[in-house]
Amino acid sequence: MPIRTEPVTINLGPQHPSTHGVFRLRVTFDGEEVIDLEPVFGYLHRGTEKLAEERTYTQIVTLTDRLDYESAMSNNLGYVTALEKLGGIEVPERAMYLRVISVELQRIASHLVFTGFFLQELGTFVTMLMYCFRERERILDLFEMLCGARITVSYMRPGGLTQDAPSDFWPALNDFLEDMPGYIDELEELITRNEIVLSRTRDVGVLDPEVAIDASISGPILRASGVQWDLRKADPYEIYSEMDFEIPIGATGDCFDRYIVRLQEMRESVKIIKQCVDKIPDGTVKTDGAFFMRPPEGDAYGCVEAPRGELGFYIVSDGGISPYRCKIRSPSFINTTMLRDMIVGGKMSDLIVIFGSLAVNMGEVDR
């Protein structure tokens, strides 16, 4: 009689360097093969939605910085978009252009972080991370010029921005835009045709477009599966309708496509920022609104295309100085739901690669 073997259950995390924060994967292995997987989250829960109910509308901007701490600008924009819909606030045109510039810079920075950590998880220790972070430093320096902070920016306000860009911001931005395509070429030469990267990521963690749409996946992961859906085109906010850019889509929906779509998006972002710099009008960047604003009773849902997908804020107002309810639809959280379907049946070594290709940010999953 042969010896009976049993599957082994392993806890990956919550304190694990590859889980991008405090995230726990309860994985059951049968040898090398993953036969079951259960994501466990909630370790970083800070109760942002509840905290928002006792803050004034302007103070909530500081809370949104801490959702997805790698793309604070996009979070700010998502919140103020919802609030401006609710209150019917007009935004000056110059503010809209500056918003788009800062959001697209943030998209590049966020994708650079993704590229660095994705390659880190493939085993390139910190080499790619250093290359990517050097480029990202320059974006953070630009943010420091705009708003005095690098990560937790709190730059946007209902009805505009805190303040206009300083005079030394524009030359620095132009320098960066000149250099950035070269940086992306360099990243592409290092990674895209590298045989090890190709063999580790091709046909790994394939997500079918139908499944992705059913699970309401959004962002680069959806586009990697071949679905042309981008809120900047589908439901243009701010001044995206005037911009000329393309939506890169992937062919098969594997890990490699998720990487290459993000790389192409960086190029498109550079294109958008260049158009904004050319077109930006003069004028004010802030409407004179009350700090303790009281939007009319009602509700509004505002959503933007954050680097990780559709970021939505649903705000219910009862006419007071703070929202009655503030629901956050975070892309990372929704994108995590398909983890089990992508990983089960794969190999142990693919597990971290697939999870890394989702670019999940735990600050946003747990909120």
How far, in Å, CA of 331 to CA of 360, rounded? Answer: 9
Nearer to other proteins, 33 or 144 (CB): 144
Q: Is 220 exposed, middle or buried (0-12, 13-18, 19+ CB in 10 A)?
A: buried
Nearer to other proteins (CB atom), residue 49 or residue 341:
49
Say if residues 339 and 355 touch (Cβ distance below 8 Å): yes
If we measure between CA atoms, which residue out of 326, 308, 316 comes closest to residue 363? 308
Give least dist CB 98 to other proteins, A: 14
User: Which amino acid, 186?
Assistant: E
Residue 294: CB minimum distance to other proteins, A: 16
Nearest to 338 by CA among 352, 313, 355: 355
The least CB distance from residue 56 to other proteins, in Å, is: 8
As a whole number of angstroms, the distance between CA 178 and CA 270 comes to 9
Closest approach of Cβ 182 to other proteins, in Å? 9
Nearest distance in Å: CB 195, other proteins:
5
In the complex, the residues that contact other proteins under the rule CB under 8 A are 55, 58-59, 61-63, 130-131, 134, 141, 144-149, 152, 154, 162-163, 166, 186, 189-190, 193-197, 291
Q: How far is the CB of 104 from other proteins (least distance, A)?
A: 20
Residue among 58 and 218 whose Cβ is closer to other proteins: 58
Closest CA to 259 of 205, 213, 208, 303: 205
Considering the complex, state which of residue 170 and residue 291 has its C-beta at the smaller distance from other proteins.
Answer: 291
Question: CA–CA separation, 203 vs 91, rounded Å?
Answer: 45
CA distance 19 to 319: 41
How many angstroms separate the CA atoms of 170 and 192, rounded?
32
Closest to other proteins by CB, 161 or 352: 161
Q: Copy the structure tokens of residue 256.
A: 């490699």
Nearer to other proteins, 8 or 196 (CB): 196
Residue 135 beta carbon to other proteins: minimum distance, rounded to whole angstroms: 11
Nearest to 44 by CA among 315, 333, 352, 342: 333
Maximum separation of any 2 CA atoms in the chain, in Å: 84
- 26 pairs with which residues across the strands? 11, 38
Q: CB-wise, 50 or 134, nearer to other proteins?
A: 134
